[in-house]
Copies of this chain bind each other. A is one copy, B any other.
Amino acid sequence: MTSLRRVQRVLGIDPGLTRCGVGVVDVAPDRSAVLVHVGVVRSSPDAAIETRLATIAAGIRAVIDEHDPHVIAVERVFSQHNRHSVMGTAQASGVALLVAGERGIPAATHTPTEVKAAITGYGAADKRQVQQMVARVLRLDSLPTPADAADALALALCHAWRGAGPSAAPTGALTPAQRAWADAERVSRR
């Protein structure tokens, strides 16, 4: 597993329909990190939902094309949070994970509590504490804005610092090739 000894490039995605945060960091084995890219993919609330999701997908694919991440970390969405907008957030997270799957890039999901704990050492930290720590770690002159962009960077750092193992599925620790093989074997046994 020499890959664990090298710099890991992580794309963090804070899913959302109106603002989808995207942040790319390079994280060295000593946990030091460098900012590669940070931004927000936006879609118009006036557009049809299928158009909005296509805009989000295109924006994420553009970031992947430009920065070629090794892994994609997406915030895990819970149904109890922000009930009004949670379905749109869940749909955007599905699109983010789909894009990863179609590109053969391993994906992982992390809960907001996991992110806060990984970044600040404290799972109940407030958003501003997380943003300040992200800015310090990446040696940024100012806090990343909007919050969705900062959250995406925090997710990416969280993923790298928690270890390379994706948390989304039992087979998450496999490489894409291993997964495809495992899937094919499973189907052939039916």
Residues of chain A at the chain B interface (Cβ within 8 Å): 44, 46-54, 57, 72, 77-79, 83, 86-87, 90-95, 97-98, 100-102, 105-107, 109, 166, 168-172, 174, 176, 179-180, 182-183, 186-187
Contacts and interface: CB of A to CB of B under 8 A. Distances in A.
A51 B186 CA distance: 14
Given A83-B79, A98-B57, A47 B169 contact: yes
B79 A87 contact: yes
A83 B52 CA distance: 25
Given A49-B107, A50-B168, A44 B100 contact: no
A86 to B, nearest CB: 5
Contact of A169 (B46, B166, B169, B172): B46
Given A87-B77, A91-B90, A94-B90, A102 B57 contact: yes
Given A46-B171, A48-B169, A50-B106, 11 more contacts: A44-B183, A47-B169, A47-B182, A48-B172, A49-B168, A50-B98, A50-B168, A51-B101, A53-B94, A94-B94, A94-B95
